[in-house]
């Protein structure tokens, strides 16, 4: 078996750089089922849903993964274009980018087949495009046809095999700083010429379509595939009411519970007469919470007035203290924030939401990396007599200031939420609590119909026994200790981002 193409120095450098910058941009990156990744030298096509442009591919990088990107991103005098080309990425032509509406990718496919026969792993996105949309686009047959062509070219080799590795990528808020990401690898589909003669040329195209449909089902089964933003929002609210455990649940568990509710609302196979009304009532409940600027947890667990005032004073003092100690580091971060803000602001003007917002995270990563390196370099140059010290001190100060800034923003966000809670008033909150109790009872009935645990709190806490998972909080002691962790802050729930408000809504349908 071939060991595959060795990674070039430029690829290794880019992979390390983006591994570093991804860990800064996203708060928690959880990767599940890495044991499903085939060994090096095994021809493999890594496939995933495509909603976040170049960022999707960066999250799945391994020792050597041949990436693909739309041809329009090549040959540009930009930092992004240089990075894409230096990583050995293969350009894919799209019909919509061609004046005559045609695209010939025969040479590209030949290069991919040769790479696979050399034992490489290739990354392809069967949707054929990246877009900012809640649902996975109909998948094209290119992956299945590539498997068919490679198998046919090696039909006389009894030991030849090729795998498709499906992967589901779920972003809590794909373009927002310090959001969270789940990457789930599924069991690979492995093909051999003797075992899969139906894929050898001349091939019945029905078999190609069946393999594509199976691939679509596998990928969509591991992520939130919603027909609309509105339904995705409703499923998240239902999940939060059903299991208000926050990060006591792992990110994977949270996504899968939300997905079960989403599938129920989509299919309407259970409780068909009640689901439309339940959807509308959940939406109205969440709309009211957004209007007040509070979270469901504040309705679920009532606080007395003196407790609210006490917590407000603690949160405000703590936020002010953290803002003060992170201020020197924020001065270093200021050029990075300004550069990315201007770049993204100008980029958003170039097109509609569905065709531009999928590249916002990519822009933030690239411009943030470039401007961050410039800040580091300038800080070292301007302190030349102490350069050996500042070379290490600058990134440490920037990281710690970011950690403290996260905690400061979270504390101030909690302070403002408590202030709004006072303004709502006790009688109104009591009425809202009764409304929530009715919703909870209906959601629990739905949970029983879709075979979710009857006691989610005990069930999901028992799953955490004896194991630690990235981002998960295990009990009060762990929650308090994690608050002061240097690696990542303790989050209360998986929807948190670095914002002064809770990010729970999506853009208007485009």
Task: Out of 166, 201, 220, pick the residue that ends a domain.
Answer: 220
162 shares its domain with 184: yes
pLDDT per residue over 26-47, tens digit each? 999 999 999 999 988 899 999 9
Task: Out of 204, 220, 236, pick the residue that ends a domain.
Answer: 220
192 shares its domain with 283: no
76 pLDDT band (50/70/90 cuts)? confident
Low-confidence winner among 87-91, 159-163, 245-249 (lowest mean pLDDT)? 87-91
54 shares its domain with 141: yes
Helices (H) and strands (E) in the chain, counts: 17, 9
140 shares its domain with 264: no
pLDDT per residue over 265-316, tens digit each? 999 888 888 999 999 999 999 999 999 999 999 999 989 999 999 999 999 9
Tally the domains of the chain.
2
pLDDT per residue over 329-367, tens digit each? 999 999 999 999 999 999 998 888 888 888 899 899 989
Q: Is 2 part of any domain?
A: no
271 shares its domain with 377: yes
Length of the chain: 510
User: Which CATH number covers residue 145?
Assistant: 3.40.1130.10
74 pLDDT band (50/70/90 cuts)? confident
Pairwise CA distance, residues 170 & 186, whole Å: 14
Q: Is 4 part of any domain?
A: no
Q: What average pLDDT does range 93-111 have in this prediction?
A: 73
pLDDT per residue over 397-456, tens digit each? 999 999 999 999 999 999 999 999 999 988 999 999 999 999 999 999 999 999 999 999
Q: Is 1 part of any domain?
A: no
- Would the pLDDT of 14 be above 60? yes
Contacts 24+ apart (CB under 8 A), 81-84: 83/14, 83/366, 84/54
How does DSSP classify residue 509?
Answer: P
Q: Is 65 part of any domain?
A: yes
- Would the pLDDT of 510 be above 60? no
User: What are the backbone dihedrals phi and psi of residue 181, each rounded to the nearest 5 degrees, phi first?
Assistant: -135, 140
336 shares its domain with 362: yes
Q: What average pLDDT does range 381-410 have in this prediction?
A: 93
Q: Is 342 part of any domain?
A: yes
480 shares its domain with 451: yes
- Would the pLDDT of 61 be above 80? no
Q: Distance of CA 290 to CAs 269, 283, 286, 504, Å?
A: 30, 10, 6, 8
Task: Out of 152, 187, 220, pick the residue that ends a domain.
Answer: 220
pLDDT per residue over 169-200, tens digit each? 999 999 999 999 999 999 999 999 999 999 99
pLDDT for 408: 95
206 shares its domain with 275: no
Q: Is 270 part of any domain?
A: yes
Closest CA to 165 of 31, 3, 34, 255: 34
155 pLDDT band (50/70/90 cuts)? very high
pLDDT for 483: 77
53 shares its domain with 161: yes
321 shares its domain with 259: yes
Q: Is 14 part of any domain?
A: yes
Q: Between these two residues, 284 and 73, which has the higher pLDDT value?
A: 284
pLDDT for 259: 97
149 shares its domain with 231: no
51 within 8 A of 491, measured Cβ to Cβ:
no
- Bridge partners, residue 184, by sequence: 32, 168
Q: Is 480 part of any domain?
A: yes
Q: Distance of CA 56 to CAs 51, 98, 130, 258, 483, Å?
A: 7, 25, 9, 21, 29
**Beta pairing class for 44-48 and 121-124:** parallel
172 shares its domain with 317: no
Check whether the bond before 11 is cis (ω within 30° of 0).
no
**Ordered alpha helix ranges (H), 26-169:** 54-59, 79-86, 106-117, 142-153
111 pLDDT band (50/70/90 cuts)? confident
Which residue range forms the structural domain that includes residue 236? 227-510
Q: Count Cβ atoms within 10 A of the Cβ of residue 461 and give its class: 0-12 exposed, 13-18 middle, 19 or more buried.
A: middle
């Amino acid at each position: 078996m071939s060991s595959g193409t060795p990674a070039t120095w430029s690829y290794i450098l880019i992979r390390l750089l983006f591994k570093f910058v991804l860990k800064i941009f996203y708060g928690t990156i959880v990767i599940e089922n890495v044991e499903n990744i085939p060994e090096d030298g095994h021809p493999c096509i890594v496939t995933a849903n495509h909603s976040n442009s170049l960022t999707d591919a960066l999250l799945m990088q391994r020792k050597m993964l041949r990436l693909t990107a739309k041809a329009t991103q090549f040959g540009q005098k930009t930092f992004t274009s240089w990075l894409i080309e230096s990583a050995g990425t293969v350009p894919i032509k799209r019909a919509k980018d061609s004046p005559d509406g045609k695209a010939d990718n025969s040479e590209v496919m030949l290069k991919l087949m040769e790479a696979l026969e050399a034992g490489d792993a290739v990354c392809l996105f069967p949707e054929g495009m990246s877009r900012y949309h809640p649902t996975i686009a109909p998948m094209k047959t290119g992956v299945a046809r590539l498997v068919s062509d490679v198998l046919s070219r090696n039909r006389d080799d009894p030991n030849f095999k090729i795998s498709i590795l499906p992967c589901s990528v779920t972003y809590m808020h794909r373009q927002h700083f310090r959001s969270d990401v789940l990457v789930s690898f599924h069991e690979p589909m492995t093909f051999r010429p003797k075992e899969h003669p139906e894929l050898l040329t001349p091939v019945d195209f029905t078999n190609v379509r069946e393999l594509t449909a199976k691939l679509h089902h596998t990928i969509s089964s591991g992520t939130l595939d919603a027909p609309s933003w509105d339904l995705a929002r409703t499923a998240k609210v239902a999940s939060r009411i059903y299991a208000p455990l926050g990060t006591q649940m792992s990110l994977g568990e949270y996504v899968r519970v939300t997905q079960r509710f989403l599938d129920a609302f989509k299919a309407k196979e259970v409780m068909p007469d009640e689901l439309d009304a339940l959807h509308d009532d959940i939406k109205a409940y969440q709309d009211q919470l957004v209007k007040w600027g509070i979270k469901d947890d504040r309705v679920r667990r009532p606080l007395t007035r003196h407790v609210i005032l006490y917590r407000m004073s603690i949160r405000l003092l703590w936020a002010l203290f953290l803002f003060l100690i992170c201020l020197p580091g924020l001065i270093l971060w200021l050029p990075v924030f300004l550069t990315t803000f201007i770049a993204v602001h100008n980029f958003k003007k170039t097109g509609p939401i569905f065709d531009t917002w999928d590249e916002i995270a990519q822009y933030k990563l690239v411009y943030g990396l470039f401007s961050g390196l410039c800040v580091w370099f300038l800080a070292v140059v301007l302190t030349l007599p102490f350069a050996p010290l500042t070379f290490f001190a600058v990134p440490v100060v920037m990281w710690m200031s970011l950690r403290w800034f996260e905690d400061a923003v979270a504390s101030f966000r909690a302070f403002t939420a408590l202030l709004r809670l006072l303004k709502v008033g006790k009688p109104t909150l009591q009425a809202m609590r009764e409304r929530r109790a009715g919703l909870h009872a209906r959601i629990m009935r739905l949970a029983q119909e879709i075979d979710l645990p009857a006691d989610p709190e005990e069930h999901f806490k028992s799953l955490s026994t004896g194991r630690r998972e990235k981002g998960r909080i295990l009990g009060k002691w762990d929650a308090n200790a994690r608050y002061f962790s240097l690696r990542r802050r303790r989050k209360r729930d998986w929807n948190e981002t670095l914002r002064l408000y809770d990010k729970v809504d999506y853009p208007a349908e485009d």
